[in-house]
């Protein structure tokens, strides 16, 4: 294949040459007689190139190319055969009827076949064969895994790794061969050839054959890495087997006795050891000793991985950190940039939690600030910012300013977040840092960088009172020339919230009104809202009149949203009583709950006849809403990239859980006539121990006239299938519920666990709140899996498993919601109410009583009252909505505690309906 010149590329010849249509047309070369290896290799290279750069072939095109490629099997050229296998491997996922080429591939992977393309044949075969054929090729794979040629052995191991998800039982039987491969004392490679046509046969004539292999010892031992990966894949469900494997291959406390010679295999073993430590506290000490032994390994890669693993251990002590930090400190003075970068990045992440331990490296880190590699310098300075003291702040700030213009936005974000953390740590130094932030805001930079600076200034305004006015002034100057709409809107919102509280609020109005005149519609709307808040605070009559005039001008805006906002705020000006619900209201609707209710409303034709009822939608405080949408700090993401574990996703909110359940239930046709789900349990109730063979949890769903129990059933036994899985529920008392039907699980294995069993009841009196206890029994037919076929045996036996009791309680009818307690308590003064006194003698503290009451009633604690400030007297305030139109309900729990009598509780309840009050009293009294 002739190489294209720069001129050819500029003229578009490269695009034509590597065009899919051109390649398909040129595939006629596969039919030539005699076959030209050179032309065919060139075309196959272009096909593989197109696939690698993302080009897609439809099934017909892929099939045509695939079977055109298979015609080249009749030629013996080694290099051509290798390209054939590479193309087959890539096309096999799209082409049809690929299994027909199996016999041709099998000829090339015979154990007595001493050809250079045998590894290629093995890799292609695993993409071609059907999982049911895995047993038929088992003999070939076993022989290849223990082959002395490392390329053949590695190809078989990697292919087994890919086959494992589809043919687990077959691949599991190869464990002895994999164990032999991982423990191999030495390996050799056969890459010698007498083919005179060129290197590895490239460019050779069609008549050449391969023979005369020369043994060349392998120094990489890469087979061990692949074998270890397969061994872990096979044993990952058996913690004891994994632990034993780590200890056998670990080489004792010093690590010197290990049979693993490949550094990547040792790094993989270190990661497995870290996972075992995390999952099994009893193995913490022996695994830590292994990790410390690997710190003295001759490979830098292994030293670094072991040091990083120890640094990432949960609750690691400063004493345990001394050895890995010493290793990382040596890397800081290494001439290799990669080692310096890896060490500084690991220390940067560790400095977040253990700054004192990392401080021992400060002298070495300071020498890296001037390092030519700016990535190393950035991590060095961010680490110093986390570990430094107040005296070193000014010196570090000067050094940072010198090279901010030389680094990318990604690293600028890291530095900005490090300075933000330092500012909150040393508030007295806020002036220098605020000056730095205002300076970098004027520099060139992308959205992520500017957002990080603005967020840092927001935090300073929130936590450092002394710098509030100066920071607001800098932000006002920034929005005068801000190209990012999102940032302008956020800053305008902050000005509307903080500006009216400033000593001289009028100085911000000019900046805000400029946005109304000069910006796009989104920013203009935000500016109108911000402007109105200055006037509605009633700071100054003259100021209010001026803002009224400015808002009237906005009524002529070309954008609907701007005009509507201006009109609404002018209306609020005329009717001051609207200020509280529209401007100063502390609660907002839970957006996920609102979305779920709206989806149910518009999908139910009968419901559309009635107006949408917002009273049943729970509210949350603005603080809770801010938490739900809070960004993860860049310091925790970009700034700490050395963690090998995926970041833990934030826990789903109660409203998001309800929304997910509603969507799940809507997909069950048997519940289509039940209407929208009114409430669902926030947390599943566990009905079994976590270590048992069968695990069951229960979620309760309340409908207008029905109650549905959802049982999540898991089978943890890999060799057993449960069929006809059902739950038998028996109410303990007269429950007021009539059994409807059960939706059983036809089959449940460990692979498709958990499965869901539904049990439906009709509420005899929908206006009442039924409460009852149920005994539960799991019933099923147990069948063993046939190890050869993976199918369950024909005969099984019926079995049952006793579960813990579940109950339908008051909390299942209540949805937590946020309100302003004092005003809402007064509003409900004339409504339904109840008052009772209870002696909770078993409670050991007020904190325990608060936790128990919140759990029983499933209501929202307000104003931080869930945390008692006194050990003897406390008042807990709760709010909720009763499902099914029961209305709002507030609870005030006045409690006293003494060691002799426990907790004495005065329970005050106010609600919109008396039934709701009775529900709460019955729940606590029961």
pLDDT value, residue 285 = 87
* Residue 315 pLDDT greater than 70, yes or no: yes
Beta-bridged to residue 887, according to DSSP, are 882
pLDDT value, residue 308 = 92
CA 164 from chain centre, in angstroms, equals 25
d(CA 211, CA 163): 31
Q: Which residues contact 584 (CB under 8 A, 6 or more apart)?
A: none
Question: Mean of the pLDDT values across residues 150-161?
Answer: 88
Do residues 228 and 260 touch, judged by C-beta distance below 8 A?
yes
Question: Mean of the pLDDT values across residues 472-490?
Answer: 90
How many other C-beta atoms lie within 10 A of the C-beta of residue 650? 10
pLDDT value, residue 174 = 87
Structure-token pair, residue 64 = 């045509």
Structure-token pair, residue 482 = 């801000």
Reported confidence tier of residue 195, pLDDT bands at 50, 70, 90? very low
DSSP letter assigned to residue 632:
P
d(CA 521, CA 516): 8
102-111, 199-208, 338-347, 837-846: the lowest-pLDDT one? 199-208
Do residues 357 and 318 touch, judged by C-beta distance below 8 A?
yes
| pLDDT digits 0-9 by tens, 666-723 | 888 888 888 878 888 878 888 888 778 888 889 888 888 888 998 888 888 777 888 8
d(CA 133, CA 774): 49
Do residues 79 and 205 touch, judged by C-beta distance below 8 A?
no
Reported confidence tier of residue 625, pLDDT bands at 50, 70, 90? low
- First vs last Cα of the chain: how many Å apart? 86
Q: Which residues contact 899 (CB under 8 A, 6 or more apart)?
A: none
| pLDDT digits 0-9 by tens, 209-228 | 444 444 455 677 888 899 89
pLDDT value, residue 422 = 80
3-state DSSP assignment of residue 797: strand
pLDDT value, residue 7 = 44
b/e map of 143-157 (b: 16 or more CB within 10 Å)?
A: bbbbbebbbbbbbbb
Q: Which residue shows structure tokens 């006793």?
A: 802
Do residues 637 and 610 touch, judged by C-beta distance below 8 A?
no
d(CA 700, CA 718): 29
Structure-token pair, residue 363 = 């002298």
Reported confidence tier of residue 13, pLDDT bands at 50, 70, 90? very low
* Residue 206 pLDDT greater than 60, yes or no: no
| pLDDT digits 0-9 by tens, 366-380 | 888 888 888 888 888
pLDDT value, residue 387 = 82
**CATH, range 660-808:** 2.60.40.1480
Question: Mean of the pLDDT values across residues 227-244?
Answer: 86
* Residue 420 pLDDT greater than 80, yes or no: yes
3-state DSSP assignment of residue 557: coil
d(CA 500, CA 88): 70
Reported confidence tier of residue 868, pLDDT bands at 50, 70, 90? confident
User: Which pairing describes strands 720-731 and 902-911: parallel, antiparallel, or unpaired?
Assistant: unpaired
pLDDT value, residue 143 = 86
Do residues 310 and 268 touch, judged by C-beta distance below 8 A?
no
pLDDT value, residue 635 = 36
d(CA 844, CA 838): 15
Reported confidence tier of residue 646, pLDDT bands at 50, 70, 90? very low
pTM over 0.95: no
d(CA 394, CA 422): 12
Q: Which CATH superfamily is domain 813-925 in?
A: TATA-Binding Protein (3.30.310.10)
Render 67-106 in DSSP notation, one character per residue: HHHHGGGG---HHHHHHHHHHHHHHTTTSSSGGGGHHHHH
Question: Mean of the pLDDT values across residues 104-131?
Answer: 80
19-28, 519-528, 599-608: the lowest-pLDDT one? 599-608
- Asked if 13-182 and 316-388 have one fold, the answer is yes
Q: Which residues contact 882 (CB under 8 A, 6 or more apart)?
A: 769, 813, 814, 815, 888, 889, 911, 913, 915, 916, 919
3-state DSSP assignment of residue 317: coil
Q: Give the orientation angle of helix 150-163 with respect to helix 222-235, to 10 degrees.
A: 20
Question: Mean of the pLDDT values across residues 886-894?
Answer: 86
Greatest extent of the chain over all pairs of C-alpha atoms, in Å: 103
- What average pLDDT does the chain have? 80
Question: Mean of the pLDDT values across residues 776-781?
Answer: 88
Do residues 293 and 250 touch, judged by C-beta distance below 8 A?
yes
Reported confidence tier of residue 585, pLDDT bands at 50, 70, 90? low
Element (H, E) at 33: none
Q: Give the orientation angle of helix 222-235 with respect to helix 175-182, to 10 degrees.
A: 140
Do residues 778 and 696 touch, judged by C-beta distance below 8 A?
yes
Task: Tell me the domain boundaries of the chain.
Answer: 13-182, 242-313, 316-388, 660-808, 813-925
Q: Give the orientation angle of helix 284-294 with respect to helix 300-311, to 10 degrees.
A: 150
* Residue 894 pLDDT greater than 50, yes or no: yes
pLDDT value, residue 325 = 92
Assign 3-state DSSP to the chain and report helix, strand, coil percentages, each to 5.
Answer: 55, 15, 30
Strands (E) located in 649-796: 679-680, 685-686, 694-702, 706-715, 720-731, 737-743, 745-748, 755-763, 772-784
Reported confidence tier of residue 282, pLDDT bands at 50, 70, 90? confident
| pLDDT digits 0-9 by tens, 530-578 | 988 888 776 677 888 888 888 888 888 899 999 999 999 888 888 877 7
Between 658 and 484, the higher pLDDT residue: 484
Structure-token pair, residue 739 = 């059994």
Structure-token pair, residue 585 = 């209201």
Phi, psi of 63 (to 5 degrees): -65, -40
Between 650 and 871, the higher pLDDT residue: 871
Element (H, E) at 808: strand 806-808
Question: Mean of the pLDDT values across residues 134-155?
Answer: 85
Percent of the chain with pLDDT strictly greater than 90: 7
186-190, 429-433, 590-594, 910-914: the lowest-pLDDT one? 186-190
Render 248-312 in DSSP notation, one character per residue: HHHTTTTSTT-----HHHHHHHHHHHHHHHHH-GGGHHHHHHHHHHHTT-S-HHHHHHHHHHHHT
Does domain 316-388 fall into CATH 1.20.1330?
no
pLDDT value, residue 631 = 42
Structure-token pair, residue 62 = 């892929």
Between 890 and 422, the higher pLDDT residue: 890
Percent of the chain with pLDDT strictly greater than 70: 88
How many other C-beta atoms lie within 10 A of the C-beta of residue 90? 22
- Peptide bond between residue 754 and the one before it cis (omega within 30 degrees of 0): yes
Degrees to nearest 5, angle at CA 788 with 787 and 792: 60
How many other C-beta atoms lie within 10 A of the C-beta of residue 542? 9
Q: How far is CA 377 from CA 335, 398, 638, 804, in A?
A: 14, 14, 16, 59
Reported confidence tier of residue 344, pLDDT bands at 50, 70, 90? very high
| pLDDT digits 0-9 by tens, 717-775 | 777 888 888 888 888 777 788 888 888 888 888 777 788 889 888 888 878 888 888 88
CATH topology of domain 13-182: 1.25.10
pLDDT value, residue 486 = 92
3-state DSSP assignment of residue 184: coil
């Amino acid at each position: 294949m002739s190489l294209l010149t720069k001129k050819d590329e500029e003229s578009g010849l490269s695009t034509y040459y590597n065009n899919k249509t051109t390649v398909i047309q040129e595939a006629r070369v596969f039919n030539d007689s005699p076959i030209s290896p050179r032309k065919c290799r060139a075309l196959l290279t272009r096909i593989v190139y197109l696939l690698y750069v993302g080009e897609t072939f439809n099934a017909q095109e892929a099939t045509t190319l695939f079977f055109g490629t298979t015609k080249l099997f009749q030629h013996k050229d080694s290099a051509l055969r290798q390209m054939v296998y590479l193309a087959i491997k890539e096309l096999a996922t799209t082409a049809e009827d690929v299994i027909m080429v199996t016999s041709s591939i099998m000829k090339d992977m015979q154990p007595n076949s001493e050809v250079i393309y045998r590894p290629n044949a093995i890799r292609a075969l695993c993409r071609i064969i059907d999982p049911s054929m895995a047993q038929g090729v088992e003999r070939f794979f076993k022989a290849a895994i223990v082959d002395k040629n490392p390329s053949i052995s590695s190809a078989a191991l990697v292919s087994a790794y890919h086959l494992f998800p589809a043919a687990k039982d077959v691949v599991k039987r190869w464990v002895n061969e994999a164990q032999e491969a991982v423990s191999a004392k030495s390996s050799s490679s056969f890459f010698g050839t007498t083919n005179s046509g060129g290197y590895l046969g490239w460019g050779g004539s069609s008549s050449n054959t391969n023979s005369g292999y020369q043994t060349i010892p392998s120094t990489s031992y890469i087979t061990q890495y692949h074998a270890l990966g397969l061994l872990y894949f096979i044993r990952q469900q058996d913690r004891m087997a994994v632990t034993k494997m780590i200890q056998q291959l670990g080489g004792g406390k010093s690590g010197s006795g290990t049979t693993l010679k490949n550094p990547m295999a040792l790094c993989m073993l270190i990661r497995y050891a870290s996972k075992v430590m995390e999952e099994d506290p009893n193995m913490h000490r022996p695994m830590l000793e292994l990790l410390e032994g690997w710190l003295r390994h001759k490979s830098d890669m292994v030293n670094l991985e072991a040091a990083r693993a120890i640094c990432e251990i949960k609750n690691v002590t400063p004493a345990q950190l001394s050895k890995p930090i010493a290793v990382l400190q040596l890397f800081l003075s290494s001439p290799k940039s990669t080692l310096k970068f890896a060490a500084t990045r690991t220390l940067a992440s560790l400095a977040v939690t253990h700054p004192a331990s990392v401080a021992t490296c400060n002298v070495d880190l300071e020498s890296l600030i001037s390092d030519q590699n700016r990535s190393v310098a950035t991590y060095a300075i961010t680490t110093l910012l986390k570990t430094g003291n107040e005296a070193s702040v000014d010196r570090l700030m000067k050094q940072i300013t010198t090279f901010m213009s030389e680094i990318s936005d990604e690293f600028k974000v890291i530095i900005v977040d490090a300075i933000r953390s330092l500012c909150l740590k040393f508030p007295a130094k806020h002036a220098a840092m605020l000056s730095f932030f205002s300076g970098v805001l004027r520099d060139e930079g992308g959205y992520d960088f500017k957002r990080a600076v603005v967020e840092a200034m927001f935090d300073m305004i929130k936590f450092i009172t002394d710098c509030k006015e100066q920071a607001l002034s800098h932000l006002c100057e920034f929005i005068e020339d801000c190209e990012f709409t999102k940032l302008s809107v956020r800053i305008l919102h902050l000005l509307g919230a903080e500006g009216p509280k400033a000593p001289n609020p009028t100085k911000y109005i000019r900046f805000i009104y400029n946005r109304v005149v000069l910006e796009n519609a989104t920013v203009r709307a935000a500016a109108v809202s911000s402007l109105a808040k200055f006037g509605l605070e009633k700071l100054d009559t003259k100021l209010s009149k001026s803002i009224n005039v400015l808002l009237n001008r906005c009524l002529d805006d070309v954008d609907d949203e701007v005009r509507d906002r201006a009109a609404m705020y002018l209306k609020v000006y005329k009717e001051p009583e609207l200020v509280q619900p529209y401007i100063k209201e502390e609660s907002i609707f839970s957006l996920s709950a609102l979305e779920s209710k709206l989806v149910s409303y518009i999908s139910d034709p009968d419901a559309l006849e009635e107006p949408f009822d917002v009273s049943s939608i729970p509210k949350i405080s603005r603080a809770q809403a801010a938490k739900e949408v809070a960004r993860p700090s860049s310091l925790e993401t970009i700034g700490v990239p050395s963690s090998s574990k995926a970041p833990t996703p934030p826990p789903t909110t109660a409203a998001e859980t309800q929304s997910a359940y509603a969507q799940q239930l809507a997909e069950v046709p048997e519940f289509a006539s039940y209407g929208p789900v009114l409430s669902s349990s926030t947390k599943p109730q566990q009905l079994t121990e976590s270590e048992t063979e069968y695990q069951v949890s229960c979620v309760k769903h309340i409908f207008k006239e029905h109650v549905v129990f959802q049982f999540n059933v898991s089978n943890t036994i890999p060799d057993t299938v449960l069929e006809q899985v059902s739950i038998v529920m028996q109410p303990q008392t007269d429950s007021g519920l009539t059994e409807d039907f059960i939706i059983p699980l036809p089959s449940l294995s460990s692979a498709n666990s958990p499965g869901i069993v539904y049990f439906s009841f009709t509420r005899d009196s929908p206006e009442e709140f039924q409460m009852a206890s149920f005994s539960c029994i799991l019933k099923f037919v147990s069948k063993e899996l046939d190890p050869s076929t993976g199918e369950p045996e024909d005969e099984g036996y019926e079995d049952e498993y006793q579960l813990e009791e579940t109950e339908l309680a008051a909390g299942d009818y209540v949805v937590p919601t946020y309100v302003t307690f004092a005003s809402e308590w007064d509003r409900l003064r004339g409504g339904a109410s109840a008052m009772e006194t209870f002696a909770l003698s078993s409670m050991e503290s007020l904190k325990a009583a608060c936790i128990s009451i919140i759990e029983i009633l499933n209501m929202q604690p307000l104003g931080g009252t869930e945390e008692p400030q006194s050990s003897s007297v406390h008042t807990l305030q709760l709010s909720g909505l009763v499902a099914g139109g029961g209305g709002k309900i507030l609870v005030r729990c006045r409690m006293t505690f003494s060691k002799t009598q426990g907790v004495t509780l005065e329970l005050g309840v106010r609600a919109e309906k008396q039934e709701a009050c009775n529900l709460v009293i019955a729940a606590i009294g029961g």
